Every structure is written in C-alpha cells, then in structure tokens.
Amino acid sequence: HPPPVATDKEEQKRLLENRPDQPPQPKVLRIAIIGAPNAGKSTLCNQLLGRKVFPVSKKVHTTRCKARGVITQEDTQLIILDTPGLTNPLKAKRHNLDEAMLTDPWDSMKHADLVLVLVDVSDHWTRNSLSKEVLRCLSQFPHIPSVLVLNKVDVLKKKFLLLEIATDLTEGIVNGRKLEVKSSPKQDSRSSVKLPLHPTQASPPESKVPGSPFGQEKNQAQEGSGLDKSSDVGGAGTGEGLEHRGAKNLKDMKGWPHFQEIFMLAALRGEEVDTLKRYLLMQAKPGPWEFHSDVLTSQSPQEICDNIIREKLLEYLPLEVPYGVTQVTDVWEEGECGELLIVQSLLVPRESHKRMLIGRGGRIISRIAQEAGQDLMNAFLCEVRLKLKVEVK
C-alpha cells in the first residue's frame, strides 16, 4: 500500500529533506509524462501511485506546475514528473497561464531517463497525429528513450482503429522495426476484447517482462494484433540522424518513429496500468534513490489541498469562472480526535461569480466541499473536515 501524505507541513518537509533510506543495491528511473492538455496525464500518475495526489479535471490546464510522484517498491524507486500539458505561447496567453507552464515540461525532459507520451484515443480530432509541441519536445531530446501510451481505449467503440492510430503515431516503426498491418480485424469493432489491442506487438521478441503480456512469443503477439514486424530500420530506435531532418521537417511528421514500446490502457478505470508499471520497474537502472521510501509526492499538504479544491471548481463552474478564484487557507489544524480541520476562503472578483459558486441553496459549494474532503481523506489517510467560504475580493 502506498504511504499517505503527511498532513503537517513541517513533517512533509522533514521527509523530503531526509536522506533516503537506500537499500543495498538501489535502482531508480525518472519518468517524464508529456502530452497534449487533457490527455489524462494526472489520472495516470494517480493510478501508478495508488493514491490521488494530482488534480484531475475535464477542463484543460488543471495541472499548473510540475510536481513529482514517488513509487518505491523493494529496491526500486520510480520518480514520476507530472507536467503541465504541452502548449504554445498563444494558447498560454488565452488561458492566462503562467510562463512556467511553457518551460516546466521542457525542464522535466532534461531530468528524465524515460519519457511517456500520452495520447487520448477518444479524441478523433487529435488521435492520429502527435501535436507539434510534443514532436518538438521529442526531437529536442532524441537520446531519451520514449514510450507511446494510448489512453482511454475503453471509450473507443471501433477497436480496430487502434491499429491504425498506432501506425500513424509511430510512422509505422517501433523499436527500430517496421510495423505492418496485415488486416483490419473489423469483427472486433463490437467487442471490448483486449487481446488484439495489446501494445506488445511492437516489441521485438527478446523484450520480455515477467508476468506481463510482453513475454509473448513473436508469432502470438502478431496473431493477436494484426501488426507484423519486418526488417530493422537503421538508427530508428535511437533518434540517430534526426538532426539532419531539421525543424522544417517536423511540419510534415505526424508520428515519432523512435518509440521503444506501445501501451494501450484506460487510466481512469485502471485497466492495464499495472502492466505499464511492471515495465517501468524493469527499466530502472542502478543508482541512488532521491527520496525517502515514505515520500509519495514532492508537494506540500497545502498544495495538494489547493489543487484538489481547484479541480472541483473547474469541474462544477462554467468557462472562465474557476480561473479567477483565489484560494486562501484560514485554518489548518488537528482536531481533538486526530481529524484534520481545514477552512478555506474562495475569493471571487464578482458578485455573480459568488452566486454561481454557492449555487441554489448552497448546493454547489456543499458538493465541492464534500468531494474535495473525500479526496483529501484518500491522500492523507485520516478524517478531514473541510469548510469553504466564498467572498468577493
């Protein structure tokens, strides 16, 4: 079971500053998760961690800053860098975003040993090509191994489309080998069977992960997937020769031909997340841990609280309203029975926003407080009493 987050700011700070409790032969892997806004990066992080510490919402730009999640299992530590969705200066200006939201994903890449590129396959507008920001990021760091993760596969009714999407996003090449779609198994379109959708078709037969479908023999994987591998493609696994392409050619690229693996999962439901987690643990290399094994996230308890309340504001309020709310914590203390008492003021710029936030008969603000309180209990593993007040600035 993952450890809870400390409710006391000083205790969490102490844990973060503590020298890690190194095992005899520690292994570590730093993972950057990048993708377009709203691809499901924070949902995937929470599922990998086993506890909700990152905010999640259908609205874009819920994640505003980079934060680390820490998974410690036996002698291995995975450090997940949850980053804001890759965006451009024009969109950043439109959403009134901090400049850090443009630079943080790039900073995370600099420190990563592996990058997961998350794509939302339920979005038919964007699923067949990687965004220009993602491609630019990958081409800037071609030496960092990258893995393609297709998310929200449970929402896709026509499962055979996954083969087409995978081919487009990889330019038909995975781990230096060419993929060939033998035939589109259209009979699968009505079923939700997972076998033909396994991403493992992309790996060469020598790539085996115990206890996961990655250990399947080559012909089994091909049989289930409809994808065939042919001859190796020179330098494709390393990003070699990329500098010769030049930035101009990025315009013509839809996919990235240097992915080492493909995973297909449904992060919200937790489907196939364990397969990805096992793979990540196998990729860890010998090296010292960065965090004590009791640390689950680099965020302070207040940051987690603010982010989770903000997530609910984004969920229940229309358009630009949540982006104008300022949060002020008035009370943060332990009650007589060990429960955590939190009182937070939500400052809004207009009286009309105040009415919207409170809702008829106080329904909306009550629902936000109740749902945020539940999430905080899950993060801190203790009773939480949360009270929210709404005031005009």
Can you spell out the DSSP letters for 94-140? Answer: HTT--THHHHHHHHHHHT-SEEEEEEETT-TTTTTS--HHHHHHHHH
Query: Between the CA of residue 272 and those of 56, 174, 209, 294, 372, what are the distances in Å?
Result: 19, 20, 14, 26, 27
Domain at 123, CATH number: 3.40.50.300
- 272 and 153, same domain (yes or no): yes
Dihedral sign for Cα 285, 287, 292, 297, please. negative
Q: Is 91 domain-assigned?
A: yes
Burial 320-353 (b: 16+ CB within 10 A, else e): ebbeebebeeeebeeeeeeebebebebbbeeeeb
In this structure, what DSSP letter does residue 32 have?
Answer: E
Can you spell out the DSSP letters for 173-214? Answer: EETTEEEEE----GGGGG---SGGG-GGGGS-TT---TTSGG
End-to-end CA distance of the chain: 42
Residue 338 bridge partners (DSSP):
none
- 278 and 312, same domain (yes or no): no
More confident of the two residues 250 and 4: 4
Q: Check pLDDT > 70 for residue 89.
A: no
Tell me the C-alpha distance between 182 and 387, whole Å: 58
Tell me the C-alpha distance between 89 and 108, whole Å: 18
The model's pLDDT over 63-83, given as tens digits with 9 standing for 90+, comes to 445 678 999 999 999 999 866
Q: Which of 135-144, 162-171, 246-255, 279-288 has the lowest mean pLDDT?
A: 246-255
Kindly indicate the confidence band of residue 348, based on its pLDDT and cuts at 50, 70 and 90.
very high
Q: Is 206 domain-assigned?
A: no
- 260 and 333, same domain (yes or no): no
Q: Is 353 domain-assigned?
A: yes
Range of the domain at 371: 301-392
**Cβ-based neighbours of 163, under 8 Å, separated by 6 or more:** 181, 184, 185, 225, 226, 227
Q: Which of 221, 258, 233 is nearest to 147 (CA)?
A: 258
Domain count for the chain: 2
- 120 and 152, same domain (yes or no): yes
Q: Check pLDDT > 70 for residue 25.
A: yes
Structure pTM?
Answer: 0.79
Number of helices (H), then strands (E), belonging to the chain: the values are 12, 13
Mean pLDDT taken over the chain: 79
Three-class DSSP labels, 57-73: CCCCCCCCCCEEEEEEE
- 16 and 139, same domain (yes or no): yes
- 270 and 368, same domain (yes or no): no
Domain at 335, CATH number: 3.30.300.20
pLDDT of residue 203: 40
Tell me the C-alpha distance between 124 and 132, whole Å: 17
pLDDT of residue 37: 78
- 21 and 161, same domain (yes or no): yes
Q: Is 197 domain-assigned?
A: no
Place of tokens 């008492």: 341
More confident of the two residues 232 and 214: 232
- 65 and 178, same domain (yes or no): yes
Tell me the C-alpha distance between 143 and 55, whole Å: 31
- 352 and 385, same domain (yes or no): yes
- 316 and 171, same domain (yes or no): no
- 277 and 339, same domain (yes or no): no
Q: Is 248 domain-assigned?
A: no
SS3 371: helix
pLDDT of residue 225: 36
Q: Which of 5-19, 153-167, 195-209, 256-270 has the lowest mean pLDDT?
A: 195-209
Q: Check pLDDT > 70 for residue 260.
A: yes
The pair of structure tokens assigned to 172 is: 């038909």
**Cβ-based neighbours of 320, under 8 Å, separated by 6 or more:** none
- 175 and 99, same domain (yes or no): yes
Q: Is 314 domain-assigned?
A: yes
pLDDT of residue 266: 95
Tell me the C-alpha distance between 124 and 120, whole Å: 9
Q: Is 51 domain-assigned?
A: yes
Q: Is 324 domain-assigned?
A: yes
